[in-house]
Amino acid sequence: MPTDPRAIALFLDMLMSERGAAANTVSAYRRDLEGASADLSGGLTASGTDELERLFAGWAELAAASVARKRSALRRFFAFLVAEGIRGDNPALAIAGVKPGRPLPKTLSIEEVDRLFATLDELLAADANPPLVRLKALMELLYGSGLRATELVSLPRNAIRPPQPFAIVTGKGNKERLIPLSPTALRAVEAQLALVPRESRYLFPSGKGHLSRVWLYKLVQGLAAKAGIAPERISPHVLRHAFATHMLANGADLRALQTLLGHADISTTERYTHVESARLVATVKGLHPLADEG
């Protein structure tokens, strides 16, 4: 089976020579396929449905149109591999379509988040090995600062400089923002920094680059399973949602939260007020003595 770069090059060459695809289309497919390959650590061509589903989970915050385009690129890419006899199946066909509208963000309760961190601390107390030290830093930054998965895994090594209680993060649109860090997060990052070579470009290095979003997804789900939380209920993005929802529940200002999350439009941040409202309504329905009366 050819490597990802070779397979992608063959596919794009077919689009141009046999299908007469427009330059913009070829360029978009190149970006999507090379990005997917990077997220799967060069294993796109050989990936199965499970890997592709985790890949799409990492694209949860993208616009529906962007996700649809990426899905189309993957389906056509794998269809090409099947037609060329490189693969016998098209795993992208099993990926569900984009649902219309924007559902309310999925989140976790404060008790569930506490359980995640209590489990992680127990594991660290038993054996503070490098993977667990790294996971502690990842979790503290996901939930403690509400970082996007891409922002987190690609953090430069010098983005956080203890004891300075903040980080400079480059988010969507190449915009920088300042992220406050809790003392617990700082300690976790200090422990991670002690394990990262000084010449490393990234805080969470992996191979020649940084930790992939797909691998981050696996790590978070693995911890959830150990904590007794259904893995399908959690992802890095769910922890970002939990950060925002719990901040609002504790009285955070909506504009301040918009800045922390790096949202260009406050309407995106306002979705979390609907999550909290829905939770309050559910609480009243479940606990109020008159809730079941007609």
What local confidence, expressed as pLDDT, does residue 226 receive? Answer: 96
Q: Which residues are catalytically annotated?
A: 148, 172, 237, 240, 263, 272
Report H helices in 84-182. Answer: 110-126, 130-145, 149-153
The candidate with the shortest Cα–Cα distance to 44, out of 53, 33, 54, is 33
Sign of CA dihedral 104, 106, 111, 114: negative
Q: Determine how β-strand 205-206 pairs with β-strand 209-210.
A: antiparallel
Least confident residue range of 165-169, 174-178, 257-261? 257-261
Which residues are bridge partners to 169 per DSSP? 177
Per-residue pLDDT of 15-41, as tens digits, reads 888 767 778 888 888 999 998 899 888
What local confidence, expressed as pLDDT, does residue 262 receive? Answer: 65
Domain, as residue range, for 190: 110-284
Band (pLDDT 50/70/90 cuts) for residue 93 is: confident
- Is residue 291 domain-resident? no
- Is residue 105 domain-resident? no
- Can you give the CATH number for the domain in which 67 is found? 1.10.150.130
Verify that 260 and 120 share a domain, yes or no.
Answer: yes
Verify that 143 and 88 share a domain, yes or no.
Answer: no
Contact (Cβ atoms closer than 8 angstroms) between residue 219 and residue 138: yes
What local confidence, expressed as pLDDT, does residue 287 receive? Answer: 42
The domain total for the chain is 2
**What angle, 0 to 180 degrees and rounded to 10, lies between the N-to-C axes of helices 236-249 and 213-226?**
70
Per-residue pLDDT of 232-274, as tens digits, reads 888 888 888 888 877 777 676 667 666 666 655 555 555 555 4
Contact (Cβ atoms closer than 8 angstroms) between residue 234 and residue 108: yes
Verify that 215 and 86 share a domain, yes or no.
Answer: no
Three-state secondary-structure class, residue 180: strand
Which two three-digit tokens encode residue 165? 């209680």
